[in-house]
């Protein structure tokens, strides 16, 4: 304070907040105007310089006005137009300087807009990355879905899926056996691959005879024809096996494998007639032909794949049956020729007749 003049009151009188607001608005408008007008960075400091120059030029007149009017007017001496213009210029200069510093040489509005743009771009990048991750995760999950276990399985297909994954992919026979027991305890799937898996896994826990007895019991109690067919496939006694297939036909007349099990490769053409009895052998081959013809007839009622859970990658069962049928018919034809020759050559043994027929065949070729 000099000569009774309060320099603080010159800057901040009773109406100081109002003047500070006006100066701040002017500074802010200049900042926004510089951004909107796309003014280069050096010109951002122009409002600062102008405000400071105005404040400097008006400081002395303002002080002189206060000194002249102070003895008489006291507080009113600090409230004059010149002083108010000085204060507005000073506050505008300070606000512009702070905004320029906040903008690091550019306008603060531009700086804030740039930051918001970066944030927005960052958010968009995160969204895109999240979407890519979600797609990649979905693709990986889809690729691995075949090896995932179903939590709390409730359907027969889910039980079979868990048993198949545990046995074939994870080597967990105990877990697979538990799932298979639950499958046949809760459901009657009537699927050949489910029954075959039951037999394959069950061999690790039950003896052959006990396992076979369990399969027959399940097939009868659950009226699961597929289980009886698989049991017949593993029955050593041909007559017992045929009896099981007869039961399977009675349960499900549309199951082709109950008429002739083309998957029973061990007994396709062997069995009866192996002791040299040509009559029995001929009857066996005729039964093979009839069985395959019946298989094809029943298989034509609907897709054979409906009796399997999993896709079957081997040759089509219909084609396999047709191929075997041709072989069986050839055997029937040969056996009929043999039987006719034996009737014409009574008193000869089977071995003698066979040798004579072979000799005749070789003789015919040499002619």
**What pLDDT is recorded for position 335?**
74
DSSP codes joined into one string, 145-181: GGGSPPSS--SHHHHHHHHHIIIIIS--HHHHHHHHH
**Alpha carbon distance 249, 86 (integer Å):** 111
State the average pLDDT for the chain. Answer: 74
Indicate the pLDDT class of residue 262, thresholds 50, 70 and 90.
Answer: confident
Cβ within 8 Å of residue 194, ≥6 positions away: 156, 160, 180, 183, 226, 309
Comparing C-alpha atoms, which of 246, 269, 272 is closest to residue 257?
A: 246
Q: Please write the tens of the pLDDT for every residue from 158-206.
A: 999 999 999 999 999 999 999 999 999 999 999 999 999 999 999 999 9
The first and second tokens of residue 202, run together, are 């069950």
For the residues 78-91, what does the mean pLDDT come to? 63
The first and second tokens of residue 39, run together, are 């003014």
Where is pLDDT greater, at 44 or 208?
208
Q: Does the pLDDT of residue 364 top 50, yes or no? A: no
Comparing C-alpha atoms, which of 236, 255, 240 is closest to residue 191?
A: 255
For the residues 265-278, what does the mean pLDDT come to? 57
**What pLDDT is recorded for position 280?**
77
Residue the block writes with tokens 């800057």:
11
Q: Does the pLDDT of residue 284 top 50, yes or no? A: yes
Comparing C-alpha atoms, which of 91, 113, 117 is closest to residue 102?
A: 113
**What pLDDT is recorded for position 15?**
53
Q: Does the pLDDT of residue 234 top 80, yes or no? A: yes
- % of residues, the chain, pLDDT over 90: 33
For the residues 44-62, what does the mean pLDDT come to? 60
**What pLDDT is recorded for position 260?**
87
For the residues 311-316, what does the mean pLDDT come to? 74
Kindly report which listed range (59-68, 79-88, 198-207, 266-275) carries the lowest average pLDDT score. Answer: 266-275
In angstroms, how far is CA 141 from the centroid of its own chain?
4
* Most confident option among 62-66, 142-146, 222-226, 304-308: 222-226
Q: Does the pLDDT of residue 263 top 80, yes or no? A: no
């Amino acid at each position: 304070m000099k000569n009774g003049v309060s320099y603080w009151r010159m800057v901040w009188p009773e109406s100081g907040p109002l003047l500070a607001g006006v100066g701040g608005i002017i500074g802010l408008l200049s900042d926004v105007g510089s951004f909107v007008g796309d003014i280069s960075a050096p010109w951002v400091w122009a409002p600062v310089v102008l405000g400071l120059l105005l404040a400097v030029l008006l400081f002395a007149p303002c002080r002189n006005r206060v000194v002249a009017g102070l003895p008489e007017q006291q507080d009113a001496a600090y409230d004059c137009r010149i002083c108010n213009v000085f204060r507005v210029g000073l506050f505008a200069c300070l606000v512009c300087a702070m905004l320029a510093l906040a903008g690091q040489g550019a306008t603060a509005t531009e700086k804030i807009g740039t930051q918001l743009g970066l944030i927005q771009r960052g958010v968009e990048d995160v969204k895109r990355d999240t979407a890519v991750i979600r797609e990649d995760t979905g693709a990986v999950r889809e690729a691995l879905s075949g090896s995932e276990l179903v939590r709390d399985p409730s359907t027969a297909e889910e039980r079979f899926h868990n048993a198949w994954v545990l046995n074939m992919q994870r080597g967990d026979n105990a877990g697979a056996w538990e799932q298979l027991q639950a499958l046949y305890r809760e459901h009657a799937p009537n699927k050949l691959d489910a029954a075959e898996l039951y037999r394959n896994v069950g061999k690790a826990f039950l003896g052959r005879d006990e396992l076979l007895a369990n399969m027959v019991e399940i097939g009868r109690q659950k009226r699961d024809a597929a289980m009886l067919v698989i049991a017949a496939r593993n029955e050593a006694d041909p007559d017992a096996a045929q009896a099981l297939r007869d039961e399977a036909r009675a349960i499900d007349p549309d199951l082709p494998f109950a008429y002739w099990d083309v998957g029973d490769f061990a007994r396709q053409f062997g069995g009866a007639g192996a002791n040299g009895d040509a009559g029995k052998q001929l009857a066996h081959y005729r039964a093979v032909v009839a069985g395959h013809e019946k298989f094809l007839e029943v298989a034509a009622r609907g897709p054979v794949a409906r009796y399997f859970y999993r896709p079957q990658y081997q040759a089509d069962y219909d084609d396999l049956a047709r191929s075997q049928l041709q072989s069986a018919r050839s055997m029937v034809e040969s056996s009929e020729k043999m039987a006719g020759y034996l009737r014409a050559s009574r008193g000869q043994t089977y071995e003698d007749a066979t040798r004579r027929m072979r000799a005749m065949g070789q003789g015919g070729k040499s002619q």
